[in-house]
Amino acid sequence: AQSVTQLDSQVPVFEEAPVELRCNYSSSVSVYLFWYVQYPNQGLQLLLKYLSGSTLVKGINGFEAEFNKSQTSFHLRKPSVHISDTAEYFCAVRVQGGSEKLVFGKGTKLTVNP
C-alpha cells in the first residue's frame, strides 16, 4: 500500500525567505502526487498536482514542486514567502490505475514571521 511521509511537522520562516516543504512517498507502482493547502478552520485547497510529463510542476500562489522518481520525493518550494502563506500543507498520493483512495501525509505547518 502507498504511504506518504512529510518530514517536517512545523517550518518557521521569515517573510520573503525561500521555503521547501519535504514529501516522500512509498509505492511499488507509478503514482499521482498532490499538494494541498489548508487555512485555519477551512477545507483543503489544491495547490498543484503531478500526473505525468514534466517533473517540475507549477501551482497557484507561486508554489512549485518537483517530482523525483529515483528519490521518491515531491518537495514543495516557493522562492519568497508572504505572511499570507501561513497555513498547513498536505502532500498526497494516489496509485495509478488502482484504488480510488487518496492517501495524505500528516501535514506541515508553515508559519511565516514578519
Partner 1 sequence: SQTIHQWPATLVQPVGSPLSLECTVEGTSNPNLYWYRQAAGRGLQLLFYSVGIGQISSEVPQNLSASRPQDRQFILSSKKLLLSDSGFYLCACGDWSSGNTIYFGEGSWLTVV
Task: Determine the distance from the C-alpha atom of residue 20 to the mean position of all C-alpha atoms in its chain, rounded to a whole number.
Answer: 9
Residues ≥6 apart with Cβ < 8 Å to 44: 36, 37, 38, 90
Supply the minimum distance, in Å, between the C-beta of residue 44 and partner 1. Answer: 4
Q: Which is nearer to partner 1, 78 or 107 (CB)?
A: 107
Residues that bind partner 1 (CB under 8 A): 6, 9, 32, 34, 36, 41-46, 49, 51, 90, 94, 100-107
Supply the minimum distance, in Å, between the C-beta of residue 15 and partner 1. Answer: 26
Q: Of all residues in the chain, what percent are helix, strand and coil, respectively (each to 5)?
A: 5, 55, 40
Supply the minimum distance, in Å, between the C-beta of residue 101 and partner 1. Answer: 6
